Amino acid sequence: MLWSYTFTWRSNDCCVRSLDPNMLDQMYQARTQKAVVEFIWIGGQFLGIPLNKDIYISNKQSAKSSETNLLWWGSNILWSLKNYEKCETGLVLWDVIAALQVLMKFAPAFLETLMHKWVSDLFSDDQQCVSIDTLCQCRKDMMSNVSSRKLHLLNIICRKVMLRDPAGENGNSTSTDLWSSLLLSSERELRERLVAFTFAAVSNRMSYFRKGACAENMWFPVGVAQMRSWVSMNSGGVHNQLRSLSSTIKRLGSRINSVCEYSAEETCAYCSTPVHFESPDIALCGSVDPAIVPTERHKLSRCAASMRLCSVLEPTWYCVCCGGMVDKLVPETYFAMKTSPLLGAANPDDESSLYSAPAVPRCPFCGILLQRLMPEFLLSVSPV
């Protein structure tokens, strides 16, 4: 939560009535006023941008608010989201999310129309996808051709706006199925990109070692064995090129330990029981051993970036959007991808910069800045 406020929905705007900075997380304190100003700015006001009249307004929607006002809201929001498609822009769009959540409550039909328009425009480079229905039919090929930033935007909108109402009070099951399907496809695409990016980094480091070049400042890939297990488990649904990359990694043999972290054997930090890879998100110790009682198995979190087990001794990173845990960070260049690396796009001349060490903690599936997650026992105010 970036700020605490109360507001009144009026026919011509959303008016902020009060601000309570005492309820604000201290890490956002310096941005309090800026966030509120941006929230008001994104409302139904004239900003000098062209009015987008392609947004359909039904008579039922117009009854609660003027048609022109809704068009201004829609135009301003679409314009702002368009600016966030630029990788150079920090992905801090909670003011837009707040405005969309208000629309979800007071004008759900208009919001659905607005978001259908936005998604269609988001993938407009794919000439086959001219509508939201066509988009769902060809989303696999289409998502490989768009930037990672666009996929991150889609994930955030799906989670924080379109799927935020599980009871379906402001929508219907058909709409929920649509956005759930888009979210799953987008996350699947990002996961394949992350695995391909990691495998390519391994091959890149091996190439540098063969040439005798220095690779000290290059990113050291982690979780390669777990990623290969994931590719093997999903071999029928992943890109052919990804399976080929996995085979290339396997042929490196014992040499792979010099260029990345490769350890398929993992143990539980609580009881030292073997942990087998079954899911990229969570794990259960001794899950394949029938001698271990299910209630005695520990549930462990896996790093969303490396698929390795998260450390229980050191603080991990946490995504407030998808709830994913991140123990190992990913280089910035992963977030700036224009298309999937599996499409064979040419790499820059200086590949060492492509796989430079990560400097900013970002979620690989949402693109937003991560927060430190401290173990509960470290937050206790009473002595143990």
* Containing structural domain, residue 218: 188-379
| Within a domain: 384 | no
Question: Under a CB-based contact definition with an 8 Å cutoff, are residues 249 and 202 in contact?
Answer: yes
The band of 170, judged by pLDDT with boundaries at 50, 70 and 90, is low
Among residues 99, 133, 111, 10, the alpha carbon closest in space to that of 57 is found at: 111
Q: Tell me, what's the pLDDT at 60?
A: 54
Considering the domain architecture, whether residues 91 and 221 belong to the same structural domain is answered as: no
Higher pLDDT pick, 65 / 224 = 224
- Identify whether residues 326 and 233 lie together within a single domain: yes
Is residue 25 pLDDT above 90, yes or no?
no
Residues 172-187 have pLDDT tens digits of 555 788 899 899 999 9
Query: For residue 349, is pLDDT > 60?
Result: no
Q: Which residue, of 187, 207, 228, is where some domain finishes?
A: 187
Shared-domain flag, residues 234 and 137: no
One domain for residues 341 and 328 = yes
For residues 358 and 286, membership in a common domain is answered with: yes
pLDDT of residue 113: 87
Q: How confident is the model at residue 13 (pLDDT cuts 50, 70, 90)?
A: very low
pTM for this entry: 0.81
- Do 258 and 290 reside in the same domain of the chain? yes
Region 250-262: mean pLDDT is 88
Give the count of domains, the chain. 2
Decide if 325 contacts 375 (C-beta within 8 A). no
Q: List, in order, residues 6 or more apart from 108 with CB less than 8 Å away.
A: 170, 171
Give me the pLDDT at residue 12, please. 42
59 and 31, same domain (yes or no): yes
Which of 187, 212, 234 is a domain's end point?
Answer: 187
Same domain as 356, residue 370: yes
Residues 256 and 155 grouped into a single domain: no
Between these two residues, 131 and 331, which has the higher pLDDT value?
A: 331
> Around Cβ 93, how many Cβ atoms within 10 Å?
22
* pLDDT tens, position by position, 281-291: 999 888 777 77
- Spatial neighbors of 148 by CB under 8 A, at least 6 apart, are 190, 193, 334, 335, 336, 337, 367
Give the pairing type, strands 266-267 and 13-19: unpaired
Are 340 and 355 members of one domain?
A: yes
- Is 169 in the same domain as 208? no
Cα separation, 267 vs 69, in Å, equals 58
